[in-house]
Chain A
């Protein structure tokens, strides 16, 4: 028996929105399932009480609890596609719940379904209701899940990371919707997330969960303004916020990793990672103290922290990053790069002599990266960022254009590139779980680049690999370990080490932190920028998160539908004007400052299919600043703004700035 969650107490009042924050492995989802008494066979509630609306849930029979599920307590899961039945039309799935739970007649249920779909801001509810789940986008699917939840008029809504699997712009739209819906409902809401920005924007109170224990519980404003627990402080300090740049200060990161249930000692659960830990912290488990009338914190030293006598995480200056800007000289030059895929044809299509269909993932991109510079590449999924990056290293064969690296013209095919050319460009993959061969030790993985790319002897390669392991701050005994012993962040460190082994001129990092927890993300970003300075590499850093891109990059390129629409200095990101698409992306980043009232710019529809891009400006069907026919028919020109950004838009920079300063409300929508 391993305790997954222990000693957790929480009270949610009707109409209140509680945020439950924690990193992966902290027990958030286990807790949500426990509240519903929906644990898998291996899990068991071994003690405590769950009172819901005057009833003790733990005392109910399984048929009684089933009456509560979906009726009084509803659950919105992280992945809507696996929660919806793929073979039943969406409308019928919503209506079924209404008939069963609310006892509506077939006709009334259908009418109510359309109402609900309208309420969750689905613009074409009739069509969506007739669709099967796979026919609608992820954002739509999640809206349908929310509609289902609302339809039951529940007393408690559990939301388990409902926006995590969505694209940034979609996430912003769904969050906006949730905020309004939650505001208008009397139900109690428990919002589970790892994203502090989301909590800041949506919740009234926040509970911070660490390794199965509640460490801090406070009203939102208090928690963000004056977090008392070192863990909460660490989480907040590790979030790269829009406008923060690596040259200002390094991100704080929490060293170590979350302990597994076997590893939890008898003292404070956070002590091994806590910069403020004293002997007491290791020997005695702190109580959950009432720090302020309305707040609780589980820390021995909170009074000192509250009094401002000790600080857990100071600001760390990062002067190297500032000093490192070298003379402007081009390292990587992309000219009119195109990546097209030919779709596989079925036999019957081939026999019928149909023309082969082609999709363009990257359609004429010109970009350059200077020596030692970090160029950020941002955009929604499907914008072609990854295809472009893979074309640069040769993992996909480009269909057109030129790629020059240090004056060498790189062949489209990987097999036609020489060892010297390969050594110049290395790649860090998105998914650390797949980045390392599970059957090679870390040492074997790290010595390979020295052997193949540098032609070193095995003994030299081993020594260099050991040095490399130390450079990415991993313990030396990992050298002979297999990847299954490492956490996700540690695996990514190894992958980064491997990429930097040969001090490549160009490093491509494809969303290297998007699957990691915030505290780990911060340390990886710090590591990346430090190694980059040491190796004097240029970097192409891809991310969908503009805050991360803005922190790490010197310049940022925004990509939409296979084209670059804006190139800007990252320090100019907070300034105006921007391309309307960039504007929407910027507005979609949830701010961790609860005082900011965010105005999310909602984009209609999805990123266009790569088979048929819109004519004229590719963004025009979704553009909130659509001018008129010119956007639809004429390709927009490049314009240079006062801040030095280049924008591909028909609207003049001055007009854009004026319009963006005004926002949308003043214009009447």
Chain B
């Protein structure tokens, strides 16, 4: 009685257990295109990243260029997304906005992930009192809704790009730290970490060579998720007028500026809003795909 198994006997998921260095990157790349939804998400993100870099080359008009004669125009061959009440080309501004939002959110996320990883590693590995104090402090930060905390901080720091960056780091560091710490706690007691300690390895070696690599897959998913939230946060703060200030082409800010004229110029509101939605969905799809692969 033959029994067959169709599955390729649990293929190692590319990010978690395929650690040869070159193939790890190849595996990660493969993972990002493995399912339709993930491939779509990755494609969207890639397109926006490219746009962010080459916006000045492809934008038909300057970012703050006002064409008084063309003000308040509906989408046309000249102005694909129409123009706003000040006569600025919405298409060009949406393109420039990509770099504004992606770089700000990206930098903020990167910084938060770095800080969170460092704190999470130390806190989880040290344990005891250090861990207790860190975690209770972070709990108190996490107890506040992110947007509320952000508003509070911006009220103190004053609205500017730098403030938005600092806010992102403060809001997201505790979240990343918690995630990292939970992985550290489970890895710390594994044989290979204890063996390293018994061999007199330095704390740097134990943290960065023994523990950190096992954290990376979880961290990758977390970073992708944080990135999508960060985009949202930057846009929200722009919309509320407490983040990036005019005349920046921040999508949230654009939505805010277009809001009073939505009856006459709906396109000025629709396109930046759609851009936010599409990027956030793209990043989420990508993150979901990575997560599914890691948990498979």
Which residues on A are within 8 Å of B, measured CB to CB? Answer: 1-9, 27, 30-31, 34, 39, 42-50, 260-262, 393-395, 414, 419, 422-423, 425-427, 429-431, 434-440, 445, 448-449, 452-453, 482, 484, 495, 498-499
Which residues on B are within 8 Å of A, measured CB to CB? Answer: 1-9, 12, 17-20, 190-201, 209-210, 213-214
Which residues from chain A contact B201 at a C-beta distance below 8 Å? Answer: 448, 452
A427 with B6: CB separation less than 8 A = no
A498 with B9: CB separation less than 8 A = no
Partner of A3, one of B4, B19, B190, B194: B4
Q: A482 — nearest CB in chain B belongs to which residue?
A: B19
| Interchain CA distance A395-B193 in the complex, whole Å | 11
A448 with B199: CB separation less than 8 A = yes
Which residues from chain A contact B12 at a C-beta distance below 8 Å? Answer: 484
Determine how close the nearest CB of chain B comes to the CB of A474; give it in whole angstroms: 17
A435 with B191: CB separation less than 8 A = yes
Known: A434-B192, A453-B199, A484-B19. A1 touches B2 (CB 8 A): no
Determine how close the nearest CB of chain A comes to the CB of B91; give it in whole angstroms: 46
A439 with B213: CB separation less than 8 A = yes
Which residues from chain B contact A427 at a C-beta distance below 8 Å? Answer: 194-195, 198
Q: List 9 A-B contacts (CB under 8 A).
A: A42-B6, A44-B6, A47-B2, A395-B194, A429-B191, A437-B214, A438-B214, A439-B19, A484-B12
Q: Of B5, B18, B201, which is in contact with the most chain A CB atoms at under 10 Å from its CB?
A: B5
Which residues from chain B contact A42 at a C-beta distance below 8 Å? Answer: 5-7
| Interchain CA distance A273-B6 in the complex, whole Å | 27
Known: A8-B1, A44-B3, A434-B191. A260 touches B9 (CB 8 A): yes
| Interchain CA distance A484-B194 in the complex, whole Å | 19
Known: A427-B195, A438-B214. A453 touches B4 (CB 8 A): no
Which residues from chain A contact B197 at a C-beta distance below 8 Å? Answer: 395, 414
Which residues from chain B contact A34 at a C-beta distance below 8 Å? Answer: 1, 3
A484 with B18: CB separation less than 8 A = yes
Which residues from chain B contact A423 at a C-beta distance below 8 Å? Answer: 200
Partner of A422, one of B7, B19, B194, B200: B200
| Interchain CA distance A419-B199 in the complex, whole Å | 8
- Closest 8 A/B residue pairs (Cβ): A48-B1, A429-B191, A439-B213, A42-B7, A435-B191, A434-B190, A6-B2, A437-B192
Q: A437 — nearest CB in chain B belongs to which residue?
A: B192
Which residues from chain B contact A39 at a C-beta distance below 8 Å? Answer: 3
Known: A427-B194, A453-B200. A44 touches B4 (CB 8 A): yes
Q: Of B3, B6, B7, B193, which is in contact with the most chain A CB atoms at under 10 Å from its CB?
A: B3
Which residues from chain A contact B195 at a C-beta distance below 8 Å? Answer: 427, 429, 435, 495, 498-499
Which residues from chain B contact A8 at a C-beta distance below 8 Å? Answer: 1-2
Which residues from chain A contact B200 at a C-beta distance below 8 Å? Answer: 419, 422-423, 452-453
Which residues from chain B contact A395 at a C-beta distance below 8 Å? Answer: 194, 197-198
Known: A427-B198, A436-B192. A261 touches B5 (CB 8 A): yes
A48 with B199: CB separation less than 8 A = no
A429 with B199: CB separation less than 8 A = no
Partner of B199, one of A1, A2, A394, A449: A449
| Interchain CA distance A669-B4 in the complex, whole Å | 51
B1 with A9: CB separation less than 8 A = yes
B198 with A439: CB separation less than 8 A = no
Determine how close the nearest CB of chain B comes to the CB of A250; give it in whole angstroms: 27
Determine how close the nearest CB of chain A comes to the CB of B214; give it in whole angstroms: 7
| Interchain CA distance A349-B214 in the complex, whole Å | 35
Partner of A439, one of B8, B196, B214: B214
B1 with A495: CB separation less than 8 A = no
A1 with B214: CB separation less than 8 A = no
Partner of A1, one of B6, B193, B194: B6
Determine how close the nearest CB of chain A comes to the CB of B184; give it in whole angstroms: 14
Determine how close the nearest CB of chain A comes to the CB of B159; give it in whole angstroms: 39
